[in-house]
Structure formats: structure tokens, C-alpha cells
Amino acid sequence: MIRFLIVLVIFVMCGASGEIAITHGMKRVGEPEALRPRELLSFLRRALTSGWFWTGVPLMALSFYLLMVLLSWEPISLVIPASALSYVVGTLGAKYILKEDVSPLRWVGVLLVCIGVAIVTAG
């Protein structure tokens, strides 16, 4: 069980930090000037040359690999609900690393989503 918990923590941390790196990269790239094919292609070109994007991708790939490892050890009804912790860890990362203003209302919403996802995936 300790082995499962350690890998679960690494899996959640890798997934959240990968998403946070990509989010930071996209914020630095800046939003497309308009949602038209030309502007979206230009945005994509800039996004794919972002160092933060390419920092996030391997972290997310590692997270995916660790999910496969966890699924090979424990039943899916335990692994997937436990992975709902990502919502809380991701929000903590958004608050302390990305400096987003996470209001109490947003926290309540995130916690409800986290518990809801755990229940839906377990049931």
C-alpha cells in the first residue's frame, strides 16, 4: 500500500506540474488575436516553440505512464477515484505557482468536483 501511495503522489504531482508548465507557457505565448484559422495557426506555431510547453509534455507523459503502472497494481475502482486528488493539487499549484486568485467560492467548486469525480468513477 505504501508503494501505491508513493507512486500515486508522484503521478498526481507530475500531472499537475505538467499542466501548470503548459498553462504558464500558453500565458506567455499570449492568446490568439482572433479565433480564426490564420490566427490559430500562428498561435499554435508560437505555442510549439515554447520551452514551458516542452517542459510540460514529458511530465504529462510520465504521469500517464505512472497511471498505467498504478492500474497494473490496483483495481481501476481505486486508482481512478484516487486520481481525482489532481483537482486539489492542481488548484494549489495554480494558486501558489501561477499566482491565480482562487476565491473561497472557487475552492468550494473544486472540492465538489473532486468528490463528485471520485464518486462517479468509483460507482
Q: Which residues bind other proteins (CB under 8 A)?
A: 19-20, 22-24, 26-32, 35, 40, 43-44, 47, 51-53, 55, 87, 90-91, 93-95, 98-103, 105-106, 108-121, 123
Pick 29 or 66: Cβ nearer other proteins: 29
Pick 74 or 95: Cβ nearer other proteins: 95
Query: What's the closest the beta carbon of residue 106 comes to other proteins, in angstroms?
Result: 5
DSSP of the chain: -HHHHHHHHHHHHHHHHHHHHHHHHHHHH---SSSSHHHHHHHHHHHHT-HHHHHHHHHHHHHHHHHHHHHHHS-HHHHHHHTTHHHHHHHHHHHHTS-----HHHHHHHHHHHHHHHHHHH-
Query: What's the closest the beta carbon of residue 113 comes to other proteins, in angstroms?
Result: 4
Pick 10 or 118: Cβ nearer other proteins: 118
Query: What's the closest the beta carbon of residue 94 comes to other proteins, in angstroms?
Result: 4
